[in-house]
Structure 1
Amino acid sequence: MEQDYEDEVKTFQSLGICEQLVEACESLGWKNPSKIQVEAIPHALEGKDLIGLAQTGSGKTGAFALPILQALLDAPQAFFACVLSPTRELAIQIAEQFEALGSGIGIKCAVLVGGVDMVQQAINLAKRPHIIVGTPGRLVDHLTNTKGFSLRTLKYLVFDEADRLLNEDFQKSIDEILNEIPRERKTYLFSATMTKKVRKLQRASLRNPVKIEAATKYSTVDTLKQQYCFIPAKYKECYLVYILTEMSGSTSMVFTRTCDATRLLALILRNLGLRAIPISGQMTQAKRLGALNKFKAGECNVLICTDVASRGLDIPSVDMVINYDIPSNSKDYIHRVGRTARAGRSGVAISLVNQYELEWYMQIEKLIGKKLPQFSAQEEEVLMLLERVAEAKRISIMKIKETGGKKRRRGGDDNDDDDDNNNGVEKYMRLKTGKMLKNGKTSKKMKRK
């Protein structure tokens, strides 16, 4: 089916995108439009409101950015479009994509997110950018407090990850934003999942929208190999370390339920010589972006994160997603595993299911409509790691107790632990190359799959 739409529409040009933007797409390496782009762009260019349902990693940002930039070329003005995002990182990423696509035509973007100095943002707004990308709360702060800033001439409003934007945290801010912007505008609403709240927003802010489903209701991409591993809760860290050492050449994202768990796991893994870094809502914006950039640059190849990182972040090199904690909301599973197997690449998702999480896991299988195969791991082999993992955990807990709440108040920066880990790294690597030699071989074999 994927082949069919590529055969029908082979280029961005044939969708109606102008030459300047086609060249921008080519410079970004976008050879063919994705399915959501094929279906959304022609309607957007006709001036229709859109509801786009598409899997994460399917090219949603391009589906709304290209029509907006093309309309801006026809009628340039400041504060032309506003894109709302549920997380700071996603907002920054969307702005980067707008700037990359619009680099040849002088597009100016402003990012309005919390955790960053408002004064600097106000200076950027005074330069009258074309595109504003932000989180709802900070956008309302500027609409209320920044002199001379208004969105009364806005032409386009985009809700990205709309299902998440519509939880109670954002409701008041979104209502205020809708009151501040003109009714005569184009509105695009994009989401990986459709909820009752999304339908409510559709009624409130869209006019005769075209609904595009580039995915089945809740689906994962075909290039994603999904597996589960049923384990005793007490050996969970052991299984995680086993999988990460088996797949040692891969880049991995490990999802946990709490911010504290991200920090503890990152310390445990680093004590065992793995290049892990945490990212969670407890960290300051600068620390979160720093961690994300280290991961993108390959300095660290294991990112331990909460669901704050599961929405919309396109880190192209992720080979594997591990659900260390099974999400209680099964829709979050779709977003988490959407971090791998993006834009046609392959990837692996492994869910560690203990005896207390079985019900949540069964809900996930029901949602995606398939039974997943089991990840094969010999328990005797896994438990060979038990002593070393227990020791690494003991050291990590002591470290957290020693620092008390200091790290959290400073934004959860664990990067200064690296020197302390060197001895542990050497000891672990010696043990690993001695006792676990066959795992090294397995790792190469698994990478080829």
Structure 2
Amino acid sequence: VAVPPERESPGGLPRTEAAPALQAPPAEAGQGPTFAELGLQPALLAGLERLSIGRPTAVQRLAIPALRRGRSALCAAETGSGKTLAYLLPLLERLLGRPEAPAEAAGPAAPRGLVVLPSRELAAQVGAVAAALCAPAGLAVRGLTGGGAAGGLRRQLRAPPPGPAVLLGTPGALREALRRRFLALERLRWMVLDEADLLMDETQVVVVGATFPAGLSETLAKFTDVGQFVTLSTQSLHRLPPHVQQKFVRLKGRDKLPELLQLLKERPSSGGAVLIFCNSASTVNWLGYILDDHKIKHLRLQGQMSAAARAGIFASFQKGDVSVLVCTDLASRGLDTSSVQLVVNYDFPDTLQDYLHRAGRVGRVGSKAPGAVVSFVTHRWDVDLVRKIETAARKRTGLPGMDSINKPSPKGVEVRLRLLHISLLVCICGK
């Protein structure tokens, strides 16, 4: 991506230089055991073949043996590293290895596996993967995402007897289904909180995320015995993607729009998809109107849209119908964006954690090119974050403020509960 050479970065680098991105790691293809050698049943191997998945990634090689043994775990790996399969495969293996008697047909849905996800979009994405894996094994999968009347919840939970073996749901929908007694959890064998900052339950629990803030272990310890957890963490956790260029453009607010338009108009048609991040829904809408005026075809995604609209928009973007998506951080976590080759931070993110998730939208497993991140820096408080990013890249260290999940954090640090609030957890755990 060409950036005007006369500008300088907040860290003092010439504008044509990127913040020092690390060298790409050696290719993993052909290294380590295969999925079959990890002991997965033929039905799951058939599901992987349907998904055209080859050999396991690093986090999958770590997680599959540990989770097959029934250990609760904190699963931490860089974004785009294949965490979804890392937890789905071994947990589905456990269901296949220990079949149970069918639940009563007249009673509430009683899944044996539950995956809690923060958004409808992510629930749909993970649900599609789970369905492909479960089809050869004969396991029923259902999604529960709310957004409608009580009858809609009941319809989503319907499945051929004995009901869904695996349920994927968002917090609000799960809470409502539990309240109305459409859902029962007495048969639950395992639960996953994907993109989670908190868990509590006595069943097998897997906490999955690309970033883990300081204080997480202390917060978890209030509700569960963290000492019994096995920690599965890759070496690249909390580090910038080593093969992705990070570029910063220091400019005044009024110059952001011309810079963006120049980037989009000069980008070749074969340059892959583009994600443009804004910090608010109003900016997404305003920027969309401007792109319309300049005849730049794009889609918009922000949290004030209806659930149905959001699902259709992201599905259209993933299919490649439109190659530019203007969005809020709704699109920064977990969603598969392997076609994206450029991320533009039109608004610089508020935290290093948000920056890491946005940067993780490029250079993912399955991407055809490493991609780049271009960030517009306009405020003096953004400059401090940029310097920390550049320093972490030069020193080849993780970004500050996101300590190792094994490391104790200062007393009194509180972790924001982004995924589930306490009332839902109390309902799920029956405490």
Query: Per the shorter chain, which TM-score range?
Result: 0.7 to 0.9
Q: Report the counterpart of residue 88 of structure 1 in structure 2.
A: 120
Q: Report the counterpart of residue 251 of structure 2 in structure 1.
A: 231
Q: Report the counterpart of residue 387 of structure 1 in structure 2.
A: none
CA distance in 1, matches of 2:73, 2:155: 32
**Residues 141, 165 of structure 2: 8 Å contact kept:** yes
Shift of 1:141: 1.1
Q: Please identify which structure carries the higher helix content.
A: 1
Q: Report the counterpart of residue 70 of structure 1 in structure 2.
A: 93
Shift of 1:130: 0.9
Shift of 1:366: 4.7
CA distance in 2, matches of 1:82, 1:17: 20
**Residues 333, 364 of structure 1: 8 Å contact kept:** no
CA distance in 2, matches of 1:293, 1:4: 30
- The one of 177, 186, 200 equivalent to 2:218 is 200
Aligned residue type for 1:112: L
Matched, 1:321 2:343: yes
CA distance in 1, matches of 2:310, 2:335: 13
- Helix, strand or coil: the match of 1:129? coil
- The one of 271, 295, 306 equivalent to 2:328 is 306
Q: Report the counterpart of residue 152 of structure 1 in structure 2.
A: 186
246 and 202 in structure 1: CA distance in 2 versus 1, 3 angstrom threshold? same
**Residues 95, 111 of structure 1: 8 Å contact kept:** yes
**Residues 83, 134 of structure 1: 8 Å contact kept:** yes
Shift of 1:368: 5.3
Q: Report the counterpart of residue 383 of structure 2 in structure 1.
A: 358
Q: Report the counterpart of residue 174 of structure 2 in structure 1.
A: 139
- Helix, strand or coil: the match of 1:143? helix
Matched, 1:243 2:243: no
Aligned residue type for 1:136: P
Pairing of 1:9-408 with structure 2 (within 5 A): 9-77=32-100, 78-127=110-159, 128-147=163-182, 149-163=183-197, 166=198, 178=200, 183=202, 185-203=203-221, 204-205=223-224, 208-249=228-269, 250-343=272-365, 345=367, 346-356=370-380, 357-366=382-391
CA distance in 1, matches of 2:34, 2:122: 27
Deviations 1:87-138 (A, max 9, x none): 2211111111100111212222222224244422212324321111112222
Shift of 1:206: 5.3
CA distance in 1, matches of 2:346, 2:253: 11
Deviations 1:2-55 (A, max 9, x none): 658655524111112122212221221211101100011011111111111111
Of 136-145 and 222-231, the range deviating more from structure 2: 222-231
**Residues 111, 164 of structure 2: 8 Å contact kept:** yes
Q: Give the TM-score normalised by structure 2.
A: 0.77
**Residues 120, 170 of structure 2: 8 Å contact kept:** yes
Deviations 1:329-370 (A, max 9, x none): 110011111111110531111111124432333344356566
Shift of 1:284: 0.4
CA distance in 2, matches of 1:4, 1:151: 42
Q: Which has the higher contact order (CA 8 A, sep 6+)?
A: 2
**Residues 90, 312 of structure 1: 8 Å contact kept:** yes
218 and 91 in structure 1: CA distance in 2 versus 1, 3 angstrom threshold? same
CA distance in 2, matches of 1:300, 1:2: 31
- Helix, strand or coil: the match of 1:326? coil
192 and 352 in structure 1: CA distance in 2 versus 1, 3 angstrom threshold? same
Aligned residue type for 1:351: S
Deviations 1:236-257 (A, max 9, x none): 0111111111224231000000
Uncovered stretches (5+) of structure 2, i.e. residues with no partner = 1-23, 101-109, 397-431
Uncovered stretches (5+) of structure 1, i.e. residues with no partner = 167-173, 372-449
**Residues 146, 152 of structure 2: 8 Å contact kept:** no
**Residues 78, 237 of structure 2: 8 Å contact kept:** no
7 and 210 in structure 1: CA distance in 2 versus 1, 3 angstrom threshold? farther
Shift of 1:214: 1.2
Of 318-327 and 4-13, the range deviating more from structure 2: 4-13
CA distance in 2, matches of 1:122, 1:317: 35
Of 152-161 and 113-122, the range deviating more from structure 2: 113-122
- Helix, strand or coil: the match of 1:51? strand
Aligned residue type for 1:192: A
CA distance in 2, matches of 1:194, 1:310: 15
- Alignment RMSD: 2.2
